[in-house]
Amino acid sequence: MRINEWLADDKFSFLNEGEKQFISAFNDEMIERGYANNGIQDYVVFGKYKIEYYKSGLKTKKVIARIYLRDGDERIAARWGGHGIGVVLRLYFTNINKQRAYIERAPDFIKAPFTDNHSNCRGCKDNCNRRKVYIVDGKAYAKCTDSAFMFEEPAVRNVLEYINLLTAFYPAKQVFL
């Protein structure tokens, strides 16, 4: 089943057309670049549903992106902010300093999750392995991986910007014959 067929289901009627267009466009771009997903899955933490993207054809499915579908659950809004409805794009990154120049040149909506106060590390543990430490524009940041790098209400017009950001961190592997 294709993503548009899933989104046509009445249980996703809480999404507006722009959100559905974003999901469809992002999905198409990810598929074109060799990523796969298992469709829209039930979820409970950041939204009622999620779509996870990972490199197709590999045994280990390292998720590099998720789309959370929020249906207005007040508990989710209270815990994670926002109004608890709509789409949130979450991207997963490692070695952020390696892409510092890219982030510093990026549009504000791309740069914001790297530099805003959301998910700042609160120093819960000295040996925390969930902390992402990096520098952007000469300022040091420490984010908690548990809830970092979320793009709230992503727009379809910005799909290629999100894809370019992912490509900077996860370039396509070259095949030599």
pLDDT of 174 reads 47
> Are the C-beta atoms of residues 155 and 21 closer than 8 Å to each other?
no
pLDDT of 75 reads 65
Nearest C-alpha neighbor of 69 from the set 154, 134, 163:
154
Q: How far apart are CA 48 and CA 7, in angstroms?
A: 14
- Largest Cα span, the chain: 54
The position carrying tokens 């996703």 is 12
Q: How far apart are CA 177 and CA 171, in angstroms?
A: 19
Please write the tens of the pLDDT for every residue from 11-24: 999 999 999 999 99
- Band of residue 60 on the pLDDT scale cut at 50, 70, 90: confident
Q: Is the pLDDT of residue 48 over 60?
A: yes
Mean pLDDT of 32-36: 92
- Band of residue 80 on the pLDDT scale cut at 50, 70, 90: low
